[in-house]
Structures are given as C-alpha cells and as structure tokens.
C-alpha cells in the first residue's frame, strides 16, 4: 500500500475515524471547522499530506456535503474520501417534470473533488454501479452482505430466516445466502408516500415460530420495517429482529419499531446512532488498502 501518513476527520467524526486509523496503524488528524454567524463554514487543514484520506460521515447531508467538499480542497491533491453513508443516491431519475436528479448532481460534485470514494452499500435503485457516476474518481463499494455475513454466521445456532423489505434487496439477500447458507425471502413493497407503505409476503409463507431477521440498507421513518414485522408475525414468526446498514431513524421511529415487536435493532456505525454498534473500520481499512496499492 502507498504509504499513508494519517486519516483526516472533523472533530464530530473522530471516534470512527480513530478506529479506522488504528486498523491501518496511522494517527488521526483533526480538520478544523469554524461556522460563521451566517451559517457558512470555514475549513482548514492543519497537516500537509501528500496522499490525504478524509473520513466524513454524510448524514445531515445538506450541511456536511458542503463541508466535505471544502475539506477536500483544503487538504489538496484530491483526497480519498471515506464516506460510509452516501446520501442523495435514491433519486436516480426525474419522476416528475422539473425534478433535479440528485444522484447525478451529488456524484458529479464528489467525482470532481476526490480521487476515490470508499462507501458502504449505497442506496441505489436502477443504477448498477457508482463508477460512471463519479468518474474520473474511483468508487470502492463495500457490499452489505460482506459486512453482515460474519455477524450472522456467529449466530447460526437457530439458523434464522433472512428477510428483505422489497425486491431491491434480493441481490444482497442472495449474496448473504451464499455466505451463510441461511434461508431468505423478500417482501413485495409498494410505496405511496414517505410514510405510506403496503407490502406482501410471498404466497404460502409459513414461519412456524422461527426467528426472522430483517435486513435493510437504510431505515429512516421505520415504516417499511414496521409493516414487515406485522406480516412476519402474521405468518407465524416466533421473533423478529432488524439489522440496518445506515440507521437514519430517530427516537420516535425507534419506538414504533419496538412497538411493532422488533425485539432487537442493530446497525453499523456508518452514522452516529445509538444502534450503530457494528464496526465498519475493518472493512473500510481493507478497502483503503485496495485504493492505495
């Protein structure tokens, strides 16, 4: 690997950035951030670095995307950006006349500012890969299955049924089946609004007291997982849990998930969240080694 001197991060991201730096055997350096009274941000690098790597969590994206772009400029040399959660990826077409295609806009901004992007399970729909979107930058994507398979294999005693919330989850589920040998199924989902979801299980689904583990890349309102839990219990599940890659839900949504009978909710530390206890540092470190051969 090209010699890496440190990981750069804003103060708000020092905990996960430090875990990544430890995995790579390098220090972490703070990127200075000042906010003016009018809301603008001033970003300053305190360390010169020939091959900078910037760690930045991009939840609350309207603010943090701008600060990431400013940090990339402050560090110079088009840094490698480690952004475990990549926002604005779901809007990949204009569904109505006059809509901005946010996936294209945000990808173009990042592709011009960094040399490579390391991210985890971006929320893509009709887009097969990030590479053409962020060119000339390089995209290194860590699949959800690679993160979750070791965790699930450690809990294999009762061989849970893995459940995806919709058809788009099928590829990740198939990969998890390959890696764990567990059974899997996915719901068919119809969304009529941000908080209105209708879903169905495959005909004849009978779970007969089994443990069901919902697997989702993003949970924001919790509506999909709540409806999925209702269907799984109706099909006879003995218990329902959820594992989420990017936990964007708030306390009210967490209460709704628990009220729906989801007994345990786990997530990665891609964003700062009470549920985010699955560390991504080992996977991000491996991806960085690939980025910096």
Measured over all CA atoms, what is the biggest interatomic distance in the chain, rounded to whole angstroms? 62
DSSP helix, strand, coil percent of the chain (3-state; round to 5): 35, 25, 40
- Our answer to whether residue 78 is catalytic in this structure is no
* Cα–Cα distance for residue pair 21/236, rounded to 1 Å: 45
Give the pLDDT band of residue 48 (cuts 50, 70, 90). confident
Taking only the tens place, the pLDDT of each residue in 178-234 is: 999 999 999 987 765 555 667 889 888 999 999 999 999 999 999 999 999 999 999
Looking at residue 123, its pLDDT comes to 87
**For the chain, how many residues are written?**
293
Residue spans of alpha helices (H) in 137-259: 144-153, 170-180, 223-234, 251-259
Looking at residue 244, its pLDDT comes to 97
Looking at residue 124, its pLDDT comes to 84
Question: Which of the residue ranges 34-38, 73-77, 81-85 would you say has the lowest mean pLDDT?
Answer: 73-77
* Cα–Cα distance for residue pair 51/74, rounded to 1 Å: 13
Looking at residue 197, its pLDDT comes to 63
Looking at residue 77, its pLDDT comes to 78
Is the confidence at residue 1, as pLDDT, over 80?
Answer: no
Q: What percent of the chain has pLDDT over 70?
A: 96
* Cα–Cα distance for residue pair 205/276, rounded to 1 Å: 31
Cα 276 off chain centre by: 11
Q: State mean pLDDT over 49-76.
A: 95
Selecting among 29, 57, 186, 189, the annotated active-site residue is 189
* Cα–Cα distance for residue pair 22/37, rounded to 1 Å: 36
Q: State mean pLDDT over 31-55.
A: 93
| Domains in the chain with CATH codes | 7-142 (3.40.50.2020), 145-277 (3.40.50.2020)
């Amino acid at each position: 690997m090209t010699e890496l001197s440190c990981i750069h991060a804003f103060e708000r991201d020092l905990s996960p950035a430090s875990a990544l730096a430890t995995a790579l055997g390098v220090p972490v350096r703070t990127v200075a951030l000042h906010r003016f009274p009018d809301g603008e941000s001033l970003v300053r690098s305190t360390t010169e670095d020939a091959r900078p790597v910037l760690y930045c969590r991009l939840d609350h994206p309207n603010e943090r995307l701008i600060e990431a772009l400013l940090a990339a400029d402050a560090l110079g040399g088009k840094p490698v950006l480690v952004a475990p959660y990549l926002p604005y990826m779901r809007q990949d077409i204009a569904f109505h006349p006059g809509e901005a295609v946010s996936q294209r806009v945000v990808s173009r901004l990042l592709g011009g500012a960094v040399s490579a992007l390391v991210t985890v399970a971006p929320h893509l729909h009709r887009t097969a890969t990030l590479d053409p979107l962020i060119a000339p930058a390089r995209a290194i994507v860590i699949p959800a299955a690679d993160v979750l398979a070791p965790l699930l294999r450690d809990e294999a005693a009762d061989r849970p049924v893995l459940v995806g919330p919709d058809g788009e989850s099928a590829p990740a589920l198939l990969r998890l089946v390959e890696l764990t040998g567990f059974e899997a199924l996915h719901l068919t989902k119809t969304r009529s609004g941000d908080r209105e979801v209708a879903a169905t299980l495959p005909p004849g689904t009978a779970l007969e007291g089994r443990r069901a583990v919902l697997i989702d890349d993003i949970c924001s309102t919790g509506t999909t997982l709540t409806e999925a839990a209702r269907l799984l219990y109706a099909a006879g599940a003995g218990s329902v849990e959820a594992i989420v890659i990017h936990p964007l839900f708030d306390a009210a949504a967490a209460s709704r998930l628990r009220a729906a009978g989801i007994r345990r909710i786990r997530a990665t530390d891609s964003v700062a969240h009470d549920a985010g206890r699955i560390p991504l540092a080992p996977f991000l470190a491996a991806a960085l080694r690939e980025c910096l051969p």
